[in-house]
Amino acid sequence: MSTHFEGSTFCIHTFGCQMNKHDSERVAGMLEGLGSLPVASIEEADIVVFLTCCVREAADTRLYGQVASMKNIAVREGSPFDKRYIAVGGCIGQRDGEKLTEQLPHLDVVFGTHNLGSLPGLLSSAIENRRQAVEVLAEGTEFSSALPADREHTWAAWLPITVGCNNFCSYCIVPYVRGREKSRPLEDIAEEARRYGEAGVKEITLLGQNVNSYGRDLYGEPRFADVLDAVDASGVERLRFATSHPKDLTDEVIARFGTLRSLMPALHLPVQSGSNRILAAMNRRYTREHYLGLIEKLRAVVPDIALSTDIIVGFPGETEEDFMETYRLVEEVGYGQVFTFIYSKREGTPAAAMEDDTPREVIQERFDRLVDLVQRKAWEANQGELDTIVPVLIEGVSKRDELVLAGKSPKNQTVHAPVPAGLRPEDLIGTIVPVAIDEARTWYLSGTVVDA
C-alpha cells in the first residue's frame, strides 16, 4: 500500500467500556505511526474512527445517527484526501459488518473486535480503491497490546489479560461480539508490566470481561492470583483490575488484597440483582448469599475496602419484591459507587425472548428510588475519609477550575485540592501527593496538598 497519510489528521470517538478505551490508544498509535496527526474534533479530522459499543440500545442507535449525520460533511481545507474517511470498529462493527456499509453508503471502513490491526490496511484500501472496505473476523488470536500505542496518560496503563467472555449472562451481548474468553500468556503480561514499571508508570489496570477466570483456557485452571503477583513485582505503585465475576472470585485472590503492596483497596464486583430468582434468570450462577459471603471475606481482609457494582433494573419479570431485594442489598453492602442501568433488550440474547410486561414507568420509578439510595450510600462511604490524609494520584485539573487539582485516592474516590502556591498543575500531574481531606461530598472529596 502506498497511501500517504502525511499531512492528514484523525480523531477517535470511543463508546463503552475500558477495553474500547484501551483499543482507542492502539488505533491512535497506529495512525500516528502512518504520519497522521491527532485532533480533538470531527471538524478538524480527515479520518474519523468510531470504537463502538452495543451493550445497551442507547449507544447503538446513537452511533447510526451520528454516522448518518456526517453524510454531507465537506472535506477539510488542507486535507491530503478527496473526502473525509469514516471507519467504524468495535462491537457494532463486529455485530453488523456489511449491514453498516449497506445502511450508511458514505461509511468507508468497518472492522471488528478481532482485527484492530487491520485498520491501516483497510483505510489504505478504501482510499486507493475508492471503495468501502469491510473486514470482520469470527475469531482472533491477536491481543491489541502488541500494537503500537499512544497512551492517554504516561503515568497510567491499561493491560488486557483476557479478551472475550464465556459466561453468557442471559441479557448480555458481549459473548457474541467479543467471542470466547482467551487469556494472554503470563510471561507476556509480566513483561509488559515490567516495561511499564521501568517507564515510571504509576498505575496499571488489568482488563478483561472476567479477570478471575484468567488462565482457564491456557493452563486448565484459573491463575489470576499469579497475574496479580507478577504485576505487583513490576514495581508499579498502584494495581487495579476490572471486571470480576462473583462466581469466580477465589479466596486466593481475596487474600492478595491483604498481602500485595500495590493492590489498591477497591473492588468492582458487579452483582446485577439482589434477587435469587432474577440472578438465576440472568444465568449469573451465584446467589445473593454467596455474594454477601464474598463481601464478608473481603472485609475480613481489608475492613474499609471500597466496593462498587453494576445493577440492572427492570430485567424481564422483575417484581417489586425482587427489586426490593436489590435495594436492600445495596443498603446492606454500602457501595462507594454503583453503576445503575435500566434493562435494555438485546436481540439474539436469551433474555430477549423472555416475557417482559413491567410497565416502563414502574421500572423508571424503581430506578429513581435506587439512584437516590446509591447517592446516600456514596455520601456515607465518603465521610470516613474526613480528617485523614490520603495519597492522591493527580490526573489533571478540575473541569470547573483549572487552579484545582483532580486525582484519585487508593479507594478510587475523586479528590480535589487547590494547586499549592508556587507550583503549576504540570508539576504534579502524574505524581502521588498526600492530601489532607476536609470536605466529603457524594461524588468527591476535597482538601489541601500537604508537603508536596
Choice between 76 and 288, CB closer to ligand 5AD: 288
Choice between 224 and 343, CB closer to ligand 5AD: 343
| Cα–Cα distance measured from residue 44 to residue 348, given in angstroms and rounded to the nearest whole number | 38
Q: What residues does 408 pair with on adjacent strands?
A: 393, 414
Minimum separation from the CB atom of position 175 to ligand 5AD (A): 11
Minimum separation from the CB atom of position 132 to ligand SF4 (A): 30
**According to CB under 6 A, which residues from 183 to 222 bind ligand SF4?**
209-210
Minimum separation from the CB atom of position 64 to ligand 5AD (A): 18
Choice between 124 and 210, CB closer to ligand SF4: 210
- Partner in contact with 346, chosen from ligand 5AD, ligand SF4, none, beta carbon below 5 to 8 Å by kind: ligand 5AD
- Burial string for 331-359 (b: 16+ CB within 10 Å, else e) reads eebebbbbebbbbbebeebebeeeeeebe
Q: Is 91 annotated as a binding residue?
A: yes
Q: What φ, ψ does residue 348 adopt, rounded to 5°?
A: 95, -10
Residue 398: CB atoms within 10 A of its CB come to 17
| Cα–Cα distance measured from residue 241 to residue 254, given in angstroms and rounded to the nearest whole number | 13
Where in 409-444 does DSSP place strands (E)?
414-418, 432-440
3-state helix, strand, coil split of the chain in percent (to 5) is 40, 20, 40
Choice between 257 and 315, CB closer to ligand SF4: 315
Minimum separation from the CB atom of position 113 to ligand SF4 (A): 12
Q: What residues does 313 pair with on adjacent strands?
A: 342
| Cα–Cα distance measured from residue 371 to residue 339, given in angstroms and rounded to the nearest whole number | 9
The interface mask with ligand SF4, positions 153-182, x = CB under 6 A, is: ------------x-xxx--x-xx-------
| Cα–Cα distance measured from residue 202 to residue 391, given in angstroms and rounded to the nearest whole number | 12
Choice between 34 and 172, CB closer to ligand SF4: 172
Q: Which pairs count as long-range contacts for 395-400, CB under 8 Å and 24+ apart, including other chains?
A: 395/153, 395/156, 395/429, 395/430, 396/425, 396/429, 397/425
- Partner in contact with 344, chosen from ligand 5AD, ligand SF4, none, beta carbon below 5 to 8 Å by kind: ligand 5AD
| Cα–Cα distance measured from residue 108 to residue 130, given in angstroms and rounded to the nearest whole number | 9
C-alpha cell at 210: 472476567
Q: Is 11 annotated as a binding residue?
A: no
Choice between 55 and 435, CB closer to ligand 5AD: 55
- Partner in contact with 167, chosen from ligand SF4, ligand 5AD, none, beta carbon below 5 to 8 Å by kind: ligand SF4
In the three-class reduction of DSSP (H, G, I as helix; E, B as strand; rest coil), residue 30 is classed as helix
Minimum separation from the CB atom of position 423 to ligand 5AD (A): 38
Give residues in contact with ligand 5AD (CB under 6 A): 55-56, 171-172, 270, 272, 310, 312, 341, 343-344, 346
The interface mask with ligand SF4, positions 9-38, x = CB under 6 A, is: ------------------------------
The interface mask with ligand SF4, positions 119-158, x = CB under 6 A, is: ----------------------------------------
Choice between 174 and 279, CB closer to ligand SF4: 174
Minimum separation from the CB atom of position 70 to ligand SF4 (A): 30
- In eight-state DSSP terms, residue 193 is H
Q: Is 54 annotated as a binding residue?
A: no
- The answer to whether 245 contacts ligand SF4 (rule: CB under 6 A) is yes
Q: What residues does 415 pair with on adjacent strands?
A: 407, 445
In the three-class reduction of DSSP (H, G, I as helix; E, B as strand; rest coil), residue 158 is classed as strand
Q: Looking at this protein, which amino acid is placed at residue 314? A: G
Minimum separation from the CB atom of position 151 to ligand SF4 (A): 24
Choice between 81 and 341, CB closer to ligand 5AD: 341
Nearest to 238 by CA among 262, 265, 269, 210: 262
- Partner in contact with 378, chosen from ligand SF4, ligand 5AD, none, beta carbon below 5 to 8 Å by kind: none
Residue that has been written with the C-alpha cell 465475576 in this structure:
245
- Partner in contact with 370, chosen from ligand SF4, ligand 5AD, none, beta carbon below 5 to 8 Å by kind: none
Q: Looking at this protein, which amino acid is placed at residue 364? A: Q
Instruction: Return the H-helix or E-strand segment holding 386.
Output: none
**According to CB under 6 A, which residues from 344 to 403 bind ligand SF4?**
none
Number of residues that bind ligand SF4 (CB under 6 A): 10
CB closest to ligand 5AD, residue no: 310
| Cα–Cα distance measured from residue 243 to residue 47, given in angstroms and rounded to the nearest whole number | 32
Instruction: Return the H-helix or E-strand segment holding 203.
Output: strand 203-207
Nearest to 278 by CA among 161, 121, 169: 169
Choice between 6 and 368, CB closer to ligand 5AD: 368
| Cα–Cα distance measured from residue 8 to residue 81, given in angstroms and rounded to the nearest whole number | 8
Annotated binding site for [4Fe-4S] cluster: 17, 53, 91, 165, 169, 172
Annotated binding site: 17, 53, 91, 165, 169, 172
Using CB under 6 A, list all residues that contact ligand SF4. 165, 167-169, 172, 174-175, 209-210, 245
